[in-house]
Amino acid sequence: MFKPLLRLTGYLTPYRLRMLSGIIAFGVSRLLEALIPLFLAMGIDSVADGKADLGIPAIGILAAVVVRYGVITYARYAVRSVGLNIAFDLRQGLYNALQHQGSDFFGRYTVGDMMTRAVADISLIQRLVAMGSILLVIMVYASVVGFGFMLYLSPVLTLLLLPPMPFVFMYAQWSSRQMGIASQEVQDRLSDLGAHTQENLSGIRTIQAMVQEDNEIKRFAATNQEYATAFYTQARINSLMMAWMPSLAAVCSITILAYGGFQVVEGTMTLGELVAFFMYVNMVVQPFRVAGFIINLFQRGGVACVRLFEVLDLDPEIADRPSGTTPTRITGDILIKDLTYRYRGQNVDALCEVNLNIAKGESISIMGRVGAGKTTLLKQIVRLLDPAPGSIFIDGHDVADYPLAQLRSQIAMVPQDPFLFGQPLRDNLTYDDPTRTLNAIWAAAGSADLKETIEDFPDQLDTLVGERGVTLSGGQKQRATLARGLIRHAPVLILDDCFSSVDTETEEHILGELKRLRRGQTTLLVSHRVSTARHSDRIVILDGGRIVEIGTHEQLIQRGGQYAELERIQREGADASDYEGALGVPT
């Protein structure tokens, strides 16, 4: 139970003095609490003797209560603030770690799972530090202080209360193991629930369009039931633990009443001391009544630590180890040499012995059927996927020698998924540099043929686009992400099939702007349209991860290969099946 929690010591170190002061303050508060029964016993014995001298007991009790109030207030504040700070550091660390993971990681872990770890698991750790540590400290202090005063009042009576303790300890050990298993199951099912909910809401339009609401409700009910069942099992174990503890208190009370009453009758113990002894027993037993809750907190916190450090312990998928010998500004010469790449878990290479030399200022169009390796090739240039050493060079330096920040800031990539943040359009267009001028924003929007669209919006650049740009059409989103890439004026621009949702007239306008703006700069463009590719200096045809054709539009037409067949089909307006056949897809 405690081993995974040891990983938190590194996060506790910056706040160790505050934590230590809080623990010491709890000890002082226990001692002050322990003085109250002594003053009370003094008052009871005074009344029993007929003196009724209650001044000193009353002042003593009042002073102990007032001072304890101040001490316990500080103690709780100190420990709970440490819990809050540790949760903050863990959440920040997890977020930072996720920013440096790649496609393999997010292929293994769902977004919903990561959200559960970032919110629910870290909240459990915060509760453990802020509440569990308080309860554990109180239990230890209460046991030590309470037993100490019990031994002072009646050693024999104290020893009579010890026999049940080993049984309580063994039961707590067994329950702890069961609670650990149940807690792991609860957190796993909670992650499944989060992942299911996130996926469902992200695809809500598809669900509604295909009239699958009822089926999705049934699927969610099954996932929800699995979580509820796991939580019920955990609650049952906890309830049994909570039910056993009052039995200990009852046994103790009967023992004290029987033997303690005998001592009072015999005169070896005063009535006030018997009452005080009862109060000390309650001080010892009271924390044990919530022992089940404490074990539950520690077990769930331990499970949360395991799940959290599972992610934090992973090395960044793309290692950032710059050589320090690369130029500070990329010019745009790209050499791809015998590049082969295979995705994890696959039996076939996504790219195989690709060789391509791209000169500064050259525009290259890359074409091929779905799965030919086009996007895989582009992602390796900016190291969203890590190429083999010595396979991609930029300006004569291995791509791995460049700092990732420089590589990705000076090579602008517009992905095929036109992702927009749920913020105003202005913030999306200037995402990499919010200080860009208004003229620069409008210029980029004009080049992407988005200016008139923005002017038609009531709030223009301040228009909220909704989560993932849901309020915009597909073509508008593609043009917005294109404008976001153009505004950077990067030495290398990569466009991954970002014209698929725009009409040919808009495409011609954008291509004209690209030719004007990108003169002397390197541009790589993935497209399925010959009308788009023909404007490039060279065209590369990929098939099965290999380059099967390369040349200018005129050269490829003359060769009569796949590109020429594709040009004929598109020129004659053939159907989609013929188009796929031209690119090597069986029809």
| Domain residue limits at 563 | 334-582
Tens of pLDDT, residues 359-395: 888 888 888 888 888 888 888 888 888 888 888 998 8
Specify if 123 maps to a domain: yes
Asked if 19 and 83 count as a contact pair (C-beta separation under 8 A), the reply is no
Tell whether 411 and 457 lie within a shared domain: yes
Does 553 fall in a domain?
A: yes
Cα 331 to Cα 22, 230, 537: the distances in Å are: 59, 58, 18
Say yes or no to pLDDT of 317 above 70: yes
The answer to whether residue 142 sits within a structural domain is yes
Q: pLDDT class for 164, splitting at 50, 70, 90?
A: low
Torsion of CA 186, 187, 192, 196, to 10 degrees: 100
Structure tokens at 281: 């027993």
Residues 426, 294 share a domain: no
CATH number at residue 22: 1.20.1560.10
User: Both 102 and 180 in a single domain?
Assistant: yes
What's the DSSP call for residue 100?
A: T
Query: Is pLDDT of 495 > 60?
Result: yes
Answer yes or no: do 341 and 270 share one domain.
no
pLDDT in tens, 247-276: 666 666 777 777 777 777 777 778 887 788
**φ and ψ of 58, to 5 deg:** -65, -45
Domain boundary, last residue among 249, 278, 312: 312
Distance (Å, whole) CA 426 – CA 484 = 10
Write the CATH number for 441.
3.40.50.300
Residue 195 and residue 50 share a domain: yes
pLDDT, mean of residues 56-82: 88
64 and 100 co-located in one domain: yes
**Can you tell me whether residue 413 is helix, strand or coil?**
strand
Considering the domain architecture, whether residues 462 and 537 belong to the same structural domain is answered as yes
Instruction: With beta carbons less than 8 A apart as the criterion, state whether 556 and 549 touch.
Output: yes
- Three-class secondary structure of residue 387 per DSSP: coil
**For 434-463, what is the HEC assignment?**
CCCCHHHHHHHHHHCCCHHHHHHCCCHHHC
Length of the chain: 587
Structure tokens at 364: 């290259």
Domain-located, residue 87 = yes
pLDDT band at 196 (very low <50, low <70, confident <90, very high): confident
pLDDT at res. 575 = 46
Task: List pLDDT tens digits, range 208-245.
Answer: 666 667 777 888 788 888 888 887 787 777 777 666 66
**pLDDT in the model for residue 582:** 46
Transcribe 279-328 into DSSP letters.
Answer: HHHHHHHHHHHTHHHHHHHHHHHHHHHHHHHHHHTSPPSS-----S-S-S
Pair 195, 278 in one domain: yes
pLDDT of residue 202: 65
pLDDT of 485 strictly over 80: yes
Q: Is 530:369 a contact under the CB 8 Å cutoff?
A: no
Residue 116 lies in a domain: yes
pTM: 0.71
Which pLDDT band, with edges at 50, 70 and 90, does 572 fall under? confident
Checking if the pLDDT of 581 tops 50, the result is no
How far out from the chain centre does Cα 159 lie? 51
Per the domain annotation, does 327 fall within a domain?
Answer: no
For 165, the enclosing helix (H) or strand (E) is helix 165-202
324, part of any domain:
no
| Band of residue 138 on the pLDDT scale cut at 50, 70, 90 | confident
Same domain as 177, residue 40: yes
d(CA 20, CA 23): 5
Given a contact cutoff of 8 angstroms between Cβ atoms, the answer to whether 101 and 319 are in contact is no
Domain final residue, candidates 252, 281, 312:
312
For residue 339, the SS3 value is: strand
Residue 394, beta-bridge partner list = 334, 397
Buried b (16+ CB within 10 A) or exposed e, 260-296: beebbeeeebbebbbbbbbbbbbbbbebbebbbbbbb
The reply to whether 48 and 83 lie within a common domain is yes
Contact 377, 339 (CB under 8 A): yes
Count of domains in the chain?
A: 2
Mean pLDDT of 447-474: 74
Tens of pLDDT, residue by residue over 87-98, are 888 888 888 888
Query: What is the spatial distance between Cα 544 and Cα 54, in angstroms, rounded to a whole number?
Result: 96
Say yes or no: 357 and 257 in one domain: no
CB of 510 closer than 8 Å to CB of 499: yes
**Looking at the structure, do residues 164 and 271 belong to the same domain, yes or no?**
yes
Edge-to-edge order in the sheet of strand 351-358? 351-358, 334-341, 392-394, 397-398
Angle value at C-alpha 245, between 133 and 167, nearest 5 degrees:
95
| DSSP-assigned beta bridge partners for residue 549 | 541
pLDDT band per the 50, 70, 90 thresholds, residue 578: very low
The verdict on residue 319 lying in a domain is no
